[in-house]
Amino acid sequence: MLVPKRAKYRKQFRGNMRGLSERGSTVSFGEFGLKAVSAGWVSARHIEAARRVLTRYTQKGGRVWIRIFPDKPISDKPPEVRMGGGKGDIVDYVAVVRPGRMLFEMGGITDEQAKEALNMASAKLPIKSRFVSKKLMYL
C-alpha cells in the first residue's frame, strides 16, 4: 500500500475540502482517465483496490498512472477509551480529493476496455467519479 516515506509532522488536523481542484485536472499521461466529481478522502486501501482492478485489464499491454497519493495521516483512538489523553494513534493515510481531480489514467488499450476498467475501479472508491477521454477533452 502507498504510505509516505517521511513526514514533517506526524499528525495533522482534519481540514476542509471546499472548492475545486485546480491542479491535476486534465489527462496528462495516458489516453483515458477517471475524474473525481465529488470531494472526499480516498484511503491507501481504496487506491490499492482500484489499482488491482486496472492492472487486471492491462495485462495485454497497457499502462496505468496513479495521480493521487495518500499523504494525510488519519488518527483514531481505541474503542472504549475516555475523553482526553491526547490525539490518537495513526491508523491510515488518505489522499484529499476535490472535484475535478484526475484520479487514475490509462493508456495503450481500447476505448471500451478502458471504460469498463475505469468504471469497475470507480466502484472501489468512496467518491463519485466519471470516465474521461483525451480525445473528447479537446474537441
**pLDDT per residue over 109-137, tens digit each?**
999 999 999 999 999 999 999 999 987 66
CA distance 1 to 92: 10
Task: Note if the pTM is more than 0.85.
Answer: yes
User: Which CATH number is 39-77+86-137's, of 2.10.25.10, 3.90.1150.150, 3.90.1170.10, 3.90.550.10?
Assistant: 3.90.1170.10
What amino acid occupies position 54? L
Tens digit of each residue's pLDDT (9 = 90 or more) over 75-110: 999 999 999 999 999 999 999 999 999 999 999 999
pLDDT at 119: 95
DSSP 38-61: S-EEEEHHHHHHHHHHHHHHTTTT
What is the domain partition of the chain in residue ranges? 39-77+86-137
Distance CA 30, CA 111 (A): 12
Is a pLDDT exceeding 50 seen at residue 139? Answer: no
End-to-end CA distance of the chain: 37
Average pLDDT, the chain: 92
Rounded distance, CA 132 to CA 43, Å? 22
Pairwise CA distance, residues 74 & 112, whole Å: 37
Q: How far apart are CA 33 and CA 122, in angstroms?
A: 11
